[in-house]
Amino acid sequence: MLVRFWGTRGSLAVAQTAGGIRGKIARALVAAGGRTFSDEAEATTFIDSELDFATAGTYGGATTCIEIEADGDGSYLLCDFGTGAREFGIDAFRRCAAGHARLYNVFMSHLHWDHIGGFPFFGPAFDPGATIVIHSGHPDAEQAFRRQQEEISFPVAFDWLRAKIEFVTLVPGQSYAIGGVEVQVMEQHHSHKSFGYRFTDRNGKTAVFSTDSEHKIESMEGETQVADFFRDADLVICDTMYSLADAVSMKEDWGHSSNIVAIDICHEANARRLALFHHEPVYSDDDIQRMHRESIRYEELTRREEPLEVLCAYDGLEVRL
């Protein structure tokens, strides 16, 4: 199973600024310490071996969109239609031209704009040979998709899309065979509800997608059920948008969670890897990197028998399970 992140930002898509790029270049030049490089390959080796991620790259700014490549029925498996879906769609056209099936099984955590806003720009929706099946725990999913393409909001109406588009409502607690993988659904606490998904392929590899899920301070005992949903997963993708202090104070009831809680639940679940996800749009690359390093340290301080690998999702990250 391969998990590919197309969009990892929460709430609002963001973009690098000229000032941000300038700062990265300056730091790289200082780190080079006057060295010269004979070609781009040499420079790339320096970048990969001596610069930290926040200097050498970026966590990106597209909103939630994750692809799961599994040994299934050959369809695309996608989580959410945030703005990352635009780039995914372009790449899907390339793969379809090489023979990939034009069938998309999509699993929606919920219908807030950062998770559906990429759909009007999703190229395969205009492909008359494509079939897009949108699975959701929300019975009103189709209403949300249609509404964002009403003329007051967008110039291209939903009914002009040429693909065959279907909406399927899934029930939490039930198990489904979709796209050649087993899919389980969990209801989560978020405004208008959200849903987490557990994907298991025929080789037993498991990835869990759990974003926009607030773990309420008044119902911490319920985290045992969340840990059961995450149990022994090869990869858990969690909303880690806020510090724990923010999550219990000024950002309480905003529908998100923290890195600390995600690590604790993954420890309880004996998960193998955690991907920090749904990054706060206000955070710079340095802020996200700092949060990642602190999360790694917290995992070390509270580790049980087996280490939990703590990754930090970025646009373009691929994780092979």
Partner 1 sequence: MNWSEDARDGAIVASPQGKIDESSAQAFGTSLESAVERAAGESARLVVDCSGIAYMSSRGLRALTLAKRKADGAGVKIMLAAPNEVVREILAISRYDKLFGVTDSVAAALAA
What is the contact surface with partner 1 in residues (CB under 8 A)?
A: 217, 220-221, 223-224, 243-246, 248-249, 258, 260-261, 264, 268, 294-295, 297-298, 301-302
Tokens of 198: 């557990």
CB of 269 to partner 1, least distance (A): 11
Length of the chain: 321
142 versus 268: smaller Cβ distance to partner 1: 268
282 versus 301: smaller Cβ distance to partner 1: 301
By three-state DSSP, how is residue 273 classified? strand
CB of 302 to partner 1, least distance (A): 6
134 versus 312: smaller Cβ distance to partner 1: 312
30 versus 220: smaller Cβ distance to partner 1: 220
Query: Contact 287/246 with Cβ under 8 angstroms?
Result: no
CB of 245 to partner 1, least distance (A): 4
- Beta bridge partners, 184, equal 175, 198
Tokens of 163: 């693909």
Tokens of 166: 């279907």
Radius of gyration of the chain (CA): 20
User: Comparing C-alpha atoms, which of 187, 188, 185 is closest to residue 215?
Assistant: 188
94 versus 304: smaller Cβ distance to partner 1: 304
Tokens of 21: 């790029």
User: Comparing C-alpha atoms, which of 266, 268, 280 is closest to residue 311?
Assistant: 266
Strand 131-136 and strand 164-169: the pairing is parallel
